[in-house]
């Protein structure tokens, strides 16, 4: 039997992250051959991975990486089975080492097939499944390129990337603020202009039906009813719709006995309220149309324009679970 030294065990441990006893046993089985010992640990990982293939890797860590020129970013989620492992320092270090390499690839498939210290990333996941004893997998991969890219990561549970059209003064602050908005508010598209007309129509019908159903119960309980909107997106607020809304607001002011000379001071607020009440889909789904989390008096689009001639080109969001 080959004599296994502590130095050899430590070397294998550093290379694989496996425990001391697992490394010693692998070296014994491989009769001191370092490369064969790695193969032994890899096969152990395959066996563990096979046994746990039906497990749900719904916990884990969301991490991101921006390149040195701030022109590309990647956000990934390394999934595991338990929150305990997801918060482990070694697991987080593995997730970040993956992100460091993932920045060089455009797709999840290419990244999984790429080299990671003499094996593929996919093989490394299998190996570490054996080391950690939980199913590990890359559950999310998003890449973004733009003239300027920034990121925000929320307690390793959500990672967001945001691209700007140019590198303006204080771009780092702007992009971080917007990435924080993406992380916290969960927008799915940039603007209401991205919506398909059929989608808006079906959403309108569904949302009005939900509110009307809620109002039946509220009425039964004697509580204040929810406002039933006519519309849910700016995409529906044509110039004709807005003109009709303004006329209705004027008629209301007249009925209330408000002097016509002060209407111009009241109408803007009424129109803002009308638009707010009838763009709930935009406020939920569209990044630029959402109220800015740091100043709810303005939307994200207005906040962005405060930095000059710059716009949001795209954004990505990944989350654990």
Provide mean pLDDT across the span 149-174.
Answer: 96
In sequence order, what DSSP letters do the residues of 1-34 get, joined into one string? -----HHHHHHHHHHH---HHHHHHHHHHTTT-H
Cβ atoms 62, 151 nearer than 8 A: no
Q: What is the mean pLDDT of the chain?
A: 90
Instruction: Single out the residue of 82, 62, 247 nearest to residue 157, CA to CA.
Output: 62
Per-residue pLDDT for 1 more than 60? no
Cβ atoms 39, 47 nearer than 8 A: no
Cβ atoms 173, 269 nearer than 8 A: no
Per-residue pLDDT for 52 more than 90? no
How far apart CA 33 and CA 2 sit, in angstroms, is 9
The distance from CA 116 to its chain's CA centroid, rounded to whole angstroms, is 25
Per-residue pLDDT for 53 more than 80? no
Provide mean pLDDT across the span 52-66.
Answer: 85
Provide mean pLDDT across the span 104-131.
Answer: 91
Query: Tens of pLDDT along 231-248?
Result: 999 999 999 999 999 999
How far apart CA 162 and CA 311 sit, in angstroms, is 11
pLDDT at residue 106, rounded to an integer:
95
Pick the residue with more confidence: 53 or 157?
Answer: 157
In the chain, pLDDT over 90 holds for what percent of residues? 68
Instruction: Single out the residue of 159, 165, 196, 164 nearest to residue 180, CA to CA.
Output: 159
pLDDT-derived band at 33, boundaries 50, 70, 90 = confident
In the chain, pLDDT over 70 holds for what percent of residues? 95
Query: Tens of pLDDT along 185-233?
Result: 989 999 999 999 999 999 999 999 999 999 999 999 999 999 888 899 9
Instruction: Using the Cα atoms of residue 13, residue 15, residue 16 and residue 17 in order, give the sign of their dihedral.
Output: positive
pLDDT at residue 113, rounded to an integer:
96
Provide mean pLDDT across the span 57-78.
Answer: 95
Instruction: Single out the residue of 158, 203, 194, 151 nearest to residue 289, CA to CA.
Output: 194
Per-residue pLDDT for 18 more than 80? no
Cβ atoms 136, 79 nearer than 8 A: yes
Per-residue pLDDT for 117 more than 90? no
Looking at domain 59-185, does it have CATH number 3.30.479.20?
yes
How far apart CA 26 and CA 174 sit, in angstroms, is 51
pLDDT at residue 3, rounded to an integer:
75
Looking at domain 6-51, does it have CATH number 1.10.8.10?
yes
Provide mean pLDDT across the span 167-181.
Answer: 96
Provide mean pLDDT across the span 147-157.
Answer: 96
The distance from CA 320 to its chain's CA centroid, rounded to whole angstroms, is 9
pLDDT at residue 196, rounded to an integer:
92
The domain segmentation of the chain, as residue ranges, is 6-51, 59-185, 192-305
288-291 — which CB contacts under 8 Å span 24+ positions?
A: 288/190, 288/191, 288/312, 289/191, 289/192, 289/234, 290/181, 290/185, 290/187
Rounded-to-5 percentages of helix, strand, coil across the chain: 55, 20, 30
**Partner residues linked to 138 by β-bridges:** 78
| Residue 240: Cβ within 10 Å count | 8
Pick the residue with more confidence: 179 or 46?
Answer: 179
pLDDT at residue 35, rounded to an integer:
80
Let me know if 253 is exposed, middle or buried by CB neighbors in 10 A (0-12, 13-18, 19+). middle
Per-residue pLDDT for 151 more than 90? yes
- Span of 50-59, 234-243, 264-273 with lowest mean pLDDT: 50-59
């Amino acid at each position: 039997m080959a004599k296994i030294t502590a130095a050899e065990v430590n070397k294998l441990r550093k290379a694989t992250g496996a425990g001391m006893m697992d490394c010693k046993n692998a070296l014994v089985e491989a009769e001191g051959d370092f490369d064969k010992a790695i193969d032994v640990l890899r096969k152990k990982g395959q066996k563990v991975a096979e046994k746990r293939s039906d497990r749900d890797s719904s916990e884990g860590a969301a991490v991101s990486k921006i390149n040195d020129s701030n022109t590309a970013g990647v956000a990934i989620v390394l999934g595991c089975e338990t929150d305990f492992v997801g918060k482990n320092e070694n697991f987080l270090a593995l997730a970040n080492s993956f992100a460091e390499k993932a920045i060089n690839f455009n797709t999840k498939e290419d990244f999984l097939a790429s080299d990671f210290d003499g094996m593929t990333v996919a093989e490394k996941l299998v190996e570490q499944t054996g080391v950690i004893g939980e199913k590990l997998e890359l559950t999310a991969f998003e890449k973004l390129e733009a003239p300027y890219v920034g990121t925000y990561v929320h307690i390793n549970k959500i990672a967001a990337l945001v691209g700007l059209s140019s590198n303006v003064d204080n771009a780092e602050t702007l992009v971080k603020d917007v990435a924080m908005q993406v992380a916290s508010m969960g927008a799915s598209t940039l603007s209401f202009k991205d919506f398909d007309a059929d989608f808006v129509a079906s959403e309108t019908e569904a949302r009005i039906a939900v509110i009307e159903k809620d109002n039946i119960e509220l009425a039964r309980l004697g509580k204040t009813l929810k406002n039933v909107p006519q519309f849910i997106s700016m995409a529906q607020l044509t110039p004709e719709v807005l003109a009709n809304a303004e006329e209705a607001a004027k008629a209301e002011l007249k009925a209330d006995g408000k002097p016509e000379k002060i209407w111009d001071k009241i109408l803007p607020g009424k129109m803002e309220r009308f638009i707010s009440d009838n763009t709930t889909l935009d406020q939920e789904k569209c990044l630029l149309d959402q109220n800015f989390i740091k100043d709810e008096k303005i939307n994200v689009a207005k906040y962005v324009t405060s930095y000059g001639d710059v716009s949001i080109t795209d954004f990505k969001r990944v989350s654990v679970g």
